[in-house]
């Protein structure tokens, strides 16, 4: 009898309890595709007919979405390609709670419509009392676009040439602002801008002066810039993009601007990111003068840039909840990191794997604190393991240095150390007999 005739039928396979449960979890289409691919493997003789159900189960993903959780052992706390700030457990729980019907725009006491996201906005206002009013949009670039459109469409934005930055993936601040219909009035030079340069450029057509924190590069040497306190009272609104999302001063990052200090210095509006040093979801924060925030909030474009209920829930939980993973990673003690690295390396070495604990240097990332390094510790492994760990389950992403793979632990929560051990050990077993260093 032709073995291909013994390949189980699709309906029979879908009745397998494991696959039936997967249908409820992943959807019928995804499970049926895995079943079909396993049947084809059996018809080609790659597996036996009785192995089809097992092969289909093994091929199923854990989640229906394509995004995979990753262990960030790069030493970059806010890795843009890995989604920047990991959410706190409180924020994750808040998202789950908000996944169904919520009172996002409804007053349960009166049964009437209410201001959208009012509790998240109240949490943000409480976190930055220096701001008369606050607003949330879907990212920091959106906050800048909204401000430029509401305050300067058809008018001029005065901006120093030294702050005309590219913000990543080819997007540039000048192009972003011009897309709103505003005109840019460039002042100063790449390395030096004076207060007189701003004052000479201001006229009847000026919408506002914009200061952009050069968050992903540094200019050193013969330089000069005008601080916010000097610009305050210049006669037009002063808008400051601080970028990385610090709401208050951070002693570990003394050169990184924060919203509270910038507003106290005289900024009329501050924009910032929610998914960087604040440690929350992607969002754009708009903080400052009540009349200006209200003009932005009531502009028609604000509707297109508004955040959804899940983001509102996560922002509020980030602000009101316990310390975020980003805060914990930033404040991790180097000695404790080294102790963790030694424990991981010792466990792997006991299995015959070439693993060592080494000092390391981590960075903030996400365009924050350029040039600042944070003392850290890493597990050093043979470099050939990089690709295998990156494509494993779970993916473990490190960095290569001098032919070695470094798994830096500063951005890795302690509870993920065992995941690293298991992932490395599993890959070492697949590679063959262990080799000790």
Q: Look at the chain and count its residues.
A: 437
Cα distance between residue 183 and residue 208, in whole Å: 11
Picking from 258, 288, 322, the residue at the C-terminal end of a domain is: 322
Domain check: are 146 and 182 in the same one? Answer: yes
Same domain, 368 and 397: yes
Task: Assess whether 218 and 240 both reside in one domain.
Answer: yes
pLDDT digits (tens, 9 = 90+) for 101-143: 999 999 999 999 999 999 999 999 999 999 999 999 999 999 9
Tokens of 162: 């030294």
Q: What is the pTM of this model?
A: 0.87
In a domain, 364, yes or no: yes
Q: How far apart are the first and last CA of the chain?
A: 54
What CA–CA distances, in Å, run from 384 to 354, 405, 418?
A: 12, 8, 21
C-alpha span between 318 and 62 (Å, rounded): 27
CA distances from 251 to 126, 248, 255, 367 (A): 21, 10, 9, 18
Residue 150 located in a structural domain: yes
Question: Is there a domain that residue 66 lies in?
Answer: no
Q: Which residues contact 243 (CB under 8 A, 6 or more apart)?
A: 140, 212, 213, 215, 257, 272, 273, 276, 367, 368
CATH number at residue 331: 3.90.1150.180
286 and 334 part of one domain: no
Whether 168 and 282 map to the same domain: the answer is yes
Report the DSSP pairing between strands 284-288 and 269-273: antiparallel
Q: Is residue 44 part of a domain?
A: yes
43, 162: one domain: no
Do residues 252 and 389 both lie within one domain? no
Q: Are residues 264 and 366 in the same domain?
A: no
Same domain, 286 and 384: no
Contact 306, 116 (CB under 8 A): yes
pLDDT tens sequence for the chain (437 residues): 566 678 999 999 999 999 999 999 999 999 999 999 999 999 999 999 999 999 999 999 877 877 889 999 999 999 999 999 999 999 999 999 999 999 999 999 999 999 999 999 999 999 999 999 999 999 999 999 999 999 999 999 999 988 877 666 667 888 889 999 999 999 988 788 888 998 999 999 999 999 998 755 566 665 678 899 999 989 999 999 998 889 999 999 998 999 999 999 999 999 999 999 999 999 999 999 999 999 999 999 999 999 999 999 999 999 999 999 999 999 999 999 999 999 999 999 999 999 999 999 999 998 778 778 999 999 999 999 999 999 988 899 999 999 999 999 999 999 999 999 999 999 887 765 544 44
Radius of gyration of the chain (CA): 26
Contact between 99 and 310 under an 8 Å Cβ cutoff? The reply is: yes
- Spatial CA neighbour of 312 closest among 146, 111, 149, 134: 134
Number of domains comprising the chain = 3
Residue 64 lies in a domain: no
Let me know the angle formed at the C-alpha of 72 by 167 and 338, rounded to the nearest 5 degrees: 120
Is 397 among the domain residues?
yes
Cα–Cα distance measured from residue 264 to residue 261, given in angstroms and rounded to the nearest whole number:
5
Q: Is residue 65 part of a domain?
A: no
Say how many C-beta atoms besides its own lie within 10 A of residue 31's C-beta.
Answer: 25
Tell me: do 420 and 312 sit in the same domain.
no
Closest CA to 390 of 378, 377, 400, 380: 400
Residue ending a domain, among 267, 288, 322, is 322
Q: Are 292 and 264 in contact (CB under 8 A)?
A: no
Q: In the listed set 280, 300, 322, which residue is the last one of a domain according to the structure?
A: 322
pLDDT at 161: 86
In a domain, 95, yes or no: yes
Cα gap 437→432, rounded to integer Å: 15
Q: Where in the sequence is the domain holding 367, given as residue range(s)? A: 71-81+327-431
CA-CA-CA-CA torsion sign (267, 271, 277, 278): positive
Asked whether residue 106 falls in the same domain as residue 241, the answer is yes
| CB 157, CB 148: distance < 8 Å | yes
d(CA 271, CA 139) in angstroms, rounded, equals 10
d(CA 155, CA 101): 42
Query: The domain that contains 212 carries what CATH number?
Result: 3.40.640.10
Does residue 376 share a domain with residue 351? Answer: yes
How far apart (Å, rounded) are the C-alpha atoms in residues 310 and 100?
10
């Amino acid at each position: 009898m032709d073995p291909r005739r013994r390949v189980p039928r699709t309906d029979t396979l879908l009745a397998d309890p494991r696959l039936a449960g997967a249908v409820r979890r992943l959807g019928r289409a995804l499970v049926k595709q895995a079943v079909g691919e396993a049947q084809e493997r059996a018809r080609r003789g790659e597996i036996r007919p009785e192995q089809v159900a097992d092969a289909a189960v093994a091929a199923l993903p854990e989640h229906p979405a394509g995004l995979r959780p990753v262990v960030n052992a790069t030493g970059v706390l806010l890795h843009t390609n890995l989604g920047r700030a990991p959410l706190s457990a409180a924020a994750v729980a808040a998202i789950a709670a908000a996944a169904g019907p919520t009172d996002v725009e409804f007053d349960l006491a009166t049964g009437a419509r209410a201001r959208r996201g009012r509790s998240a906005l109240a949490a943000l206002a409480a976190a930055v009392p220096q701001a008369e009013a606050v607003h949330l949009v879907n990212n920091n670039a959106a906050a800048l676009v909204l401000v430029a459109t509401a305050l300067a469409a058809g008018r001029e934005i005065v901006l120093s040439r030294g702050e005309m930055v590219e913000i990543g993936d080819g997007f540039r601040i000048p192009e972003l602002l011009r897309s709103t219909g505003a005109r840019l009035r460039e002042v100063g030079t790449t390395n030096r801008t004076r207060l007189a340069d701003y004052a000479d450029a201001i006229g009847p057509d000026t919408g506002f002066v914009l200061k952009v924190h050069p968050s992903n590069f540094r200019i050193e040497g013969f330089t000069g810039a005008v601080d916010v306190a000097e610009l305050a009272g210049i006669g037009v609104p002063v808008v400051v993009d601080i970028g990385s999302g610090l709401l208050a001063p951070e002693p570990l990052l003394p050169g990184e601007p924060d919203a509270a200090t910038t507003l106290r210095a005289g900024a009329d509006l501050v924009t910032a990111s929610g998914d960087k040093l604040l440690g929350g979801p992607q969002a754009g924060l708009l903080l400052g003068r009540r009349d200006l925030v209200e003009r932005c909030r009531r502009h028609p474009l604000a509707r297109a840039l508004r955040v959804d209920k899940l983001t509102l829930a996560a922002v509020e939980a980030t602000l009101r909840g316990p310390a975020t993973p980003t805060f914990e990673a930033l404040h991790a003690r180097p000695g404790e990191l080294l102790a963790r690295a030694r424990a991981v390396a010792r466990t792997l070495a006991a299995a015959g794997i070439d693993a060592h604990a080494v000092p390391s240097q981590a960075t903030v990332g996400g365009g924050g604190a350029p040039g600042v390094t944070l003392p850290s510790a890493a597990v050093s492994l043979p470099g050939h393991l990089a690709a295998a760990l990156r494509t494993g389950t779970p993916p473990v992403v490190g960095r290569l240095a001098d032919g070695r793979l470094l798994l830096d632990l500063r951005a890795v929560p302690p509870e993920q150390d065992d995941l690293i051990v298991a992932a490395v050990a599993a890959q070492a077993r697949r590679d063959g007999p262990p080799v000790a260093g």
